[in-house]
Chains A and B, each alone.
Chain A
Amino acid sequence: MVPSFAASTGPFAVTPDTELPVSEYGRVGDPPEVRALVAAAQAGDRSAFDDLVTRYHRAVFRTAMAALQRPEDADNTTQDAFVLAWRKISAFRGDSSFKTWLLTIVWRQALDRRRARARWWQRSTTVSRSDDPSDDGLDRLVSHEADPERHAAARHRVRQVRDAITRLSPKLRDTLLLASDGEYSYEEIAEMLGVPLGTVKWRVSEARKLVQQRCEQSKEKP
């Protein structure tokens, strides 16, 4: 059923003549207010772009975190991505939503930073992953058990899952982290990663399966 736009009013009213951007996977157009901000930013309005920064900087930061897993790197990458987006905003044609376009930029920047990072794997697996419970953050995931032994066991299982995710291949791990974040749809992830939608679904499924297998294997070990 085709939705009716006749009731839309206001400065950003969407009329039937107003075509929403259509991506490879369907309509992923931005809300009207975002489209107005983007149009103003393309015309050179910095305050409009500042509003876009306010709206999307959290999503951009979390995307960088999914690739880098280090807050300081994600912080720098987020800044670089917005600067690049401001410079390239005239090239945005609306083939996808502005959010997807922006996240694609930050994702590529994050991958560049990740490649340039020497011994990234060792550092990413050690940062903020100490055995000290106080700075681990895993307690938030463990339900409070009255029995200290059961609490420790639950915490151990969470640690096993985290280690299994960390040991996934980059493609599977990236896709799983993006999909689990809940910030993006599968279609947006597919556009960000530049892969078909089916590939995203397969990667998420494969990643979950591998994590489950590895957790089972570690459970069987004494």
Chain B
Amino acid sequence: MSIHDIDRVARHLVDTEPPPNLETRILARLDAAGRDATGQERPSEGWTWWMWRAALPAALATIAIVMGTRNPKILAPNGVQGTEVLSPQPVADFSRIAKLEPQPGRASVGTGKAAEGISTRTSDTTEPRLSSEEAAWMDRRILMLAAVEALRVEHLSFDPLNSAGSTQPEALAITPLIMTPLPLEPLGSGRHNDR
């Protein structure tokens, strides 16, 4: 079998002429491929359309967030001014705290404008309605807070160990050990080592 014969048979395996209407069908496929006369892809209703549909709101939201971060008033609704929230309902009664006279060495509640803001705002609000138990608890709490001397250090006093009231155990008494010499027999008397 010569190489020529092998090539001839190999050529026969692929020696098939295309169908006569293949060119027509190719052109029809090209027409149906969704291309316009300029060769540009026609906007399809496939994934690209959905991508734009999702990307546009996302881009607008991102812009809004960025602008809102730079200027918080843009995003603030009615009743909210910047980062300061004016709540119509006070959380707790700070009026008595505000009335406390600052004492040297005592920690103050709030400093500067913050403390002023608290007292100013609470003065404009109505008194909260507390039950009798709550009011009693609040009174106790305020009194206990007022009694705290924050900067005062109590001097601890303790009794000596050997005093009567000491909780230490009694001193240990060690009995001296008495050594009594054993009586020994003199060597050579009695037993003999005759081995």
State the A residues within 8 Å of B (CB). 41-46, 49-50, 53-54, 57-58, 61-62, 65-66, 69, 71, 74-75, 78-79, 82-83, 86-87, 89-90, 137-138, 140-141, 157-158, 160-162, 165-166, 176-177, 179-182, 208, 211-212, 215-216
Q: Tell me the dominant secondary structure on chain B's binding face.
A: helix
CA distance A82 to B29 in the complex (A): 9
Choose one: B14, B19, B25, B27; the contact of A66 (CB below 8 Å): B14
Chain B, interface size category, equals 20 to 34
Q: Contact: B29 with A83, CB < 8 Å?
A: yes
Instruction: Determine if A180 and B18 form an interchain contact, defined as CB atoms under 8 angstroms apart.
Output: no
Does the CB pair A83–B1 fall under 8 Å? Answer: no
* Given A65-B14, A69-B13, A208-B6: A57 and B22 interface contact (C-beta under 8 Å): yes
Which residues on the A side are within 8 Å of B12 (C-beta)?
A: 137-138, 140-141, 162
Interchain CA distance A82-B9 in the complex, whole Å? 29
- What distance in Å separates the Cβ of B3 from its nearest Cβ neighbour in chain A? 5
Asked if B1 and A57 make an inter-chain contact with CB atoms under 8 angstroms apart, the answer reads: no
Q: Is A87 within 8 A of B41, CB to CB?
A: yes
Sample 27 A-B pairs with CB under 8 A, ordered by A number: A43-B39, A53-B26, A53-B27, A62-B16, A65-B16, A69-B13, A74-B16, A75-B18, A75-B19, A79-B22, A83-B30, A86-B30, A87-B41, A140-B12, A157-B5, A158-B9, A161-B5, A161-B6, A165-B6, A165-B10, A165-B13, A180-B6, A180-B8, A180-B10, A180-B14, A181-B10, A212-B6
A88, B22: Cα distance in complex, Å: 21
Q: Is A211's CB under 8 angstroms from B6's CB?
A: yes
Chain A residues contacting B18 (CB-CB under 8 Å) are 57-58, 61-62, 74-75, 78
14 additional A-B pairs beyond A79-B25, A87-B41, beta carbons within 8 Å, are A44-B40, A61-B16, A62-B15, A65-B16, A66-B14, A71-B16, A74-B16, A78-B18, A138-B12, A161-B6, A181-B11, A211-B6, A212-B1, A212-B6
